[in-house]
Structure 1
Amino acid sequence: MLDEEERGGPVEELEEVVVKEEDPPKMVKIGSTLTSEHKAVLQKVLQDYNDMFAWSHEEMPSIPASLAAYRLNVDPTFKPVKQKMRYFNPNCNATIQEEVDKLLRVGFIRKARYPEWIANVVMVPKNNGKCFPLPKINQLVDSTAGNKTLSFMDAFSGYNQITMHPSDQEKTNFITNQGLYCYKMMPFGLKNAGATYHRLVNKLFKEQIGRTMEVYIDDMITKSQSVE
């Protein structure tokens, strides 16, 4: 981990370009030091293929369960844990319900019916940007040497594209003041969830990894030795 001051700034400044005219417009960032010709070509490619990007949770196709599904390896001799509902202040409750409504709307969670396992919601503040994890960063940097064009991508809610096995969904039950819910899609935070997602990505891109792209969990780099 590096503090923000130790990490330093980006190698080059980035600028936003419009790839889809909507309200609000859909934007991506490209290098500001690219030539005008290169910028124009790159922007046209991004505009022509803007439908390849997920701009919202509703646009995310899930991964077929035959390709990847998450299972919880729970010892059957363990007694299920049922936590009593924790009470939050009105502002927190409103934030929780807003998130629950969003997850219900996009199909990541559902109402739970059989409450053998019950956990409380844990509110976690968003990253304040002060620290940056640097896993395998030396390998990723070395792998880009000699390439003229690099594209950096962050998978959009990647974990939530993997289905929970039906028999394990209600082991993820959580309770709010509006009801009891469970996850239909793999949430962030479950044991080995990161490894499950990483295996999936390695399987999907096995022909490209090491040749035209590098991957670490949900961060991806595509690389090319020519602008074309």
Structure 2
Amino acid sequence: MDLERPYPPILRRHAYPESLETRKEIEKHINELLDMDVIRNIGHNKIVENTTPVLITWHYGKSRLCGDFRALNNYTKADRYPITRIPHALDKLAKARYITKMDCMKGFHQNGVKPRSMKLLRIIFYMGIYEYARMPCGIKNAPAHFQRMMDTIFQEKILEGCMVVYINDIIIYSET
């Protein structure tokens, strides 16, 4: 993670108050991330940089755990890699007869984090303080980084005109 200017030595936040329902959902996500080795518990009451978890819930009930990394994002140097534009992707799909869509499960979490950046990627919850070992949701450059990675991996198929990649969504298409 490249910073534009020095990050304050210690930026700590207290956990946000949440409803019992939200707390249970955050617990579920934290336990899942622990099982997947995306985060690790670094204990309680440590004087370390941290932020709070934020639960994003969609209208159909699915949720995602993010960190409130707004303060860190203000110090982060922007990655200007272009994200696929939806109208451009739709133009490519206009004549397609067959379309297959795939979603990379927990896409951002597929990317490791440099050890020097891990100390900046901590969330606090009543269960402890957790440090991300994989890319968390809520980081300013996560979408650009992931798009670049996907474009690099699938460059040949994208150039052949049979695939569109939008961050963690892969669409394979064909006229025949």
TM-score where L is the length of structure 2: 0.74
Give, in angstroms, the shift of residue 140 of structure 1. Answer: 1.6
**In structure 1, C-alpha distance between the alignment counterparts of 2:158 and 2:55, rounded to whole Å:** 36
Give, in angstroms, the shift of residue 209 of structure 1. Answer: 0.5
| Partner of residue 214, structure 1 | 164
Greater relative contact order structure (CA < 8 Å, 6+ sep) = 2
The aligned amino acid for 1:157 is K
The sequence identity of aligned pairs, in percent, is 25
Q: Secondary structure at the match of 1:123?
A: strand
The aligned amino acid for 2:50 is I
| Partner of residue 88, structure 2 | 139
When structure 1 is superposed on structure 2, of 147-156 and 168-177 the one drifting more is 147-156
| Partner of residue 20, structure 1 | none
**In structure 2, C-alpha distance between the alignment counterparts of 1:77 and 1:187, rounded to whole Å:** 18
Whether 2:31 is the aligned partner of 1:101: answer: yes
Q: Contact conserved, 1:112 with 1:173, CA < 8 A, in 2? A: no
Any stretches of 5+ residues in structure 1 without a counterpart?
1-70, 130-134
Any stretches of 5+ residues in structure 2 without a counterpart?
61-83
Q: Secondary structure at the match of 1:180?
A: strand
Q: Which has the larger radius of gyration?
A: 1
Aligned CA distance change for structure 1 residues 93 and 146 (closer, same or farther; 3 Å):
closer
Q: Contact conserved, 1:82 with 1:118, CA < 8 A, in 2? A: yes
| Partner of residue 69, structure 2 | none
Whether 2:21 is the aligned partner of 1:91: answer: yes
Once the two structures are superposed, what CA deviation does each residue of 1:143-190 show, in whole Å capped at 9, x if it has no partner?
124443221222211111001111111211111111110111101110
In angstroms, what is the RMSD of aligned CA positions?
2.2
**In structure 1, C-alpha distance between the alignment counterparts of 2:101 and 2:7, rounded to whole Å:** 45
Aligned CA distance change for structure 1 residues 77 and 175 (closer, same or farther; 3 Å):
closer
Give, in angstroms, the shift of residue 84 of structure 1. Answer: 2.5
Whether 2:119 is the aligned partner of 1:170: answer: yes
Q: How many residues matched?
A: 150
Which among 97, 113, 120 is matched to residue 52 of structure 2?
A: 120
| Partner of residue 64, structure 2 | none
Q: Secondary structure at the match of 1:207?
A: helix
TM-score where L is the length of structure 1: 0.59
Aligned CA distance change for structure 1 residues 146 and 171 (closer, same or farther; 3 Å):
same
